[in-house]
Amino acid sequence: MLPVRNPRTGEYDYEIPVTSADDINSITADLRAAQMQWSTLGAEGRAEVLNRFADSMTTEMGPLAQALSADTGRTTFAQFEAMKSVELIRMWAERAGPILQDLAGSGQSGQVPAVHYQHRLIPYPVVAVISPWNVPLLLAMIDSLAALAAGCAVLLKPSEVTPRFVAPLQRALDAVPELAAVLHIVTGGPDTGKAMIEEVDAVCFTGSVKTGRQVSQQAAACFIPAFLELGGKDPAVILPDADVPLAARAIIRSAIGMTGQACQSLERVYCHESISETVTEELLRQLSELSLTCSEDGAGDIAPLIFERQVNIIQAQVDDALAKGATCLLGGEPVRAGGVWYPPTLLTNVNHTMLIMQEETFGPVIPVVAFSDADEAVALANDSKFGLSAAVFSTDSRAAIAVAERLQVGAISINDASLTGIVNDVEKNSFRFSGMGGSRMGPAGLIRFVRKRALLIQTDEPARVQLFSDTALSNTP
Ligand code: NAD
């Protein structure tokens, strides 16, 4: 059994079994057998089953939100996460059919018009979904639901750091036996994840770059596709004509709102030198109004850190910045009250030699750097191994879009931040070390789970072997 820590109390008050490689082997065999019927059910049949799952998830909404709250130390967001998951189920139930229908075309070859074709869509039989701790339910569901809607069976392993939600999720699943046959949830840590990759036909992984590299290498050796959604170091660029209070509000929501524990959290702020003081003052003013949830009644804005060891990473980056000359205007040290809270932290006088500007922090820290022109802003924003998303602020939307088009990231929010956290139906890719393997959002999020089989029908006489016979060498031109 693996002990599980409660992020609010700091106590280990829960445990989960570790699923063995042998169990993974037999579970995958069962999923593989059940998937055939699931696939032949068709998109409409699957939609009906998925909608019943949405109903049973709605029945379990209270316990789901409670378990998520114990997993993450967040209350209001836990409710939002449970609700958003139900919304996602209904979205795929509605949209999968039309998307798959559009994809499975038939027609005539342009090159060889006598050849007619029909496409069949063949889902990967079993897809592994391996998910992280920061948004436990939603990140477990986002790939699983699309894969299921496409006709795959799914073997899901949520993070061992936040597994309490699995029990109510399993209850909701048990109420829909047709789905329970093709969605199997296992618990465990890295070894369980590795065993899964050995058995399945495709893997979706959300997590750190370090683990993502191991997953992609193992998947390559198994000759299966790996869809990776990894870390980020998202920049915000504030142009001189930006609405400063609006920019500060959006940046703070993105950088601090989830205690910085979101892949698409803004972690670097570049603002034009003409407004850098105003921006810093506004950030400081708005940040000073926030409170931690460490009081008795649990009310407040900033939840505890979910993963205890994350505090060491955050503090090492802040200390490195301070040692290299940064100024800390707010925060900068954890608060321990059973769990560990990290207060909103604002740093100035930072530069790119500091870890805080290079490595993913995954904590509520805002470092601010001034730039002199758009070229410098773009160069600074692009000076990163990551390429997840970004934000640009300007009252001139053309100027904002001109900067956005030069950023080496997969999604850019304009005059807001982290919009990919709430917009799941617009395609976007992760650039650089932030991911690999097709958009998980929008129609592509579904399409990546099916392969096309082409039936090529000859309507003319087949060519004779002599078509490419050689004539005597002396006769060739
Ligand atoms: P992690 O890489 O430590 O673990 C993620 C999952 O992988 C867990 O379920 C873990 O048990 C499993 N795992 C660990 N080693 C494995 C192995 N060798 N083979 C197979 N599975 C293995 O990540 P984390 O700390 O849980 O999550 C935080 C990270 O996730 C951050 O870097 C964050 O940016 C990233 N993230 C990315 C996105 C995105 O959409 N791009 C979303 C959320 C989180």
* CA of 160 relative to ligand 1 center, distance in Å: 10
Kindly state if the Cβ of 305 falls inside 6 Å of ligand 1.
Answer: no
Q: Which atom of ligand 1 is nearest to the CA of 161?
A: 26
In the residue annotation, 94 being an active-site residue is answered as: no
Give the 3-state secondary structure of residue 195: helix
Closest CA to 213 of 436, 53, 425: 436
Share of the chain above pLDDT 70, in %: 99
Q: Verify whether residue 282 is a known catalytic residue.
A: no
Report pLDDT digits (tens) over 305-345: 999 999 999 999 999 999 999 999 999 999 999 999 999 99
Type of residue found at 117: Y
Closest by alpha carbon to 343, among 384, 307, 311?
311
Q: One of 199, 229, 267, 359 is an active-site residue; which one?
A: 229
Which of 211, 424, 439 gets mutated to test ligand 1 (max ligand atoms within 8 A of its CB)? 211
Helix (H, G, I), strand (E, B) or coil at 68: helix
Ligand 1 atom nearest 196 alpha carbon:
20
CA 318 to each of CA 315, 356, 365: distance values in angstroms, whole numbers, following the listed order: 5, 7, 8
Separation of 80 CA from ligand 1 center, angstroms?
22
- Give the domain ranges of the chain: 2-230+434-457, 234-421
What's the confidence (pLDDT) of residue 12? 98
* 3-state secondary structure (DSSP) of residue 394: coil
- Beta strands across the sheet bearing 450-458: 106-108, 115-123, 450-458
Low-confidence residues of the chain: pLDDT under 70: 475-477
pLDDT 10s digits, 427-463: 999 999 999 999 999 999 999 999 999 999 999 999 9
Whose CA is closest to 387, among 367, 410, 412?
A: 410
2 lines ligand 1 (CB under 6 A): no
Query: Residue 66 Cα, ligand 1 centroid: separation in angstroms?
Result: 23
- Ligand 1 geometric centre to CA of 470 (Å): 59
In the set 152, 204, 263, 294, the catalytic residue is 263
- The predicted pLDDT at position 477 comes to 59
| Among 134, 210, 312, residue to substitute to test ligand 1 (most atoms within 8 Å of Cβ) | 134
Ligand 1 in reach of 165 Cβ (< 6 A): no
CB distance 359 to ligand 1 below 6 Å: no
Q: Do the domains spanning 2-230+434-457 and 234-421 agree at the CATH topology level?
A: no
Q: Is the CB of 207 under 6 A from ligand 1?
A: yes
Most ligand 1 atoms within 8 A of CB, residue of 2, 5, 130 to mutate: 130
**Cβ of 260 below 6 Å from ligand 1:** no
Pocket test for ligand 1, best of 129, 144, 159 (most atoms within 8 A of CB): 159
- Domain 2-230+434-457's class? alpha beta
Please tell me whether residue 450 adopts helix, strand or coil conformation. strand
For the record, the structure tokens of 353 come out as 């030699």
Q: Which fold has domain 234-421?
A: Aldehyde Dehydrogenase; Chain A, domain 2 (3.40.309)
Nearest atom (ligand 1) to Cα of 197: 20
Which atom in ligand 1 lies closest to the alpha carbon of residue 130?
9
d(CA 69, CA 78): 5
* Three-state SS annotation for 426-469: CCCCCEECCEECCCCCCCHHHHCCEEEEEEEEECCCCCCHHHHC
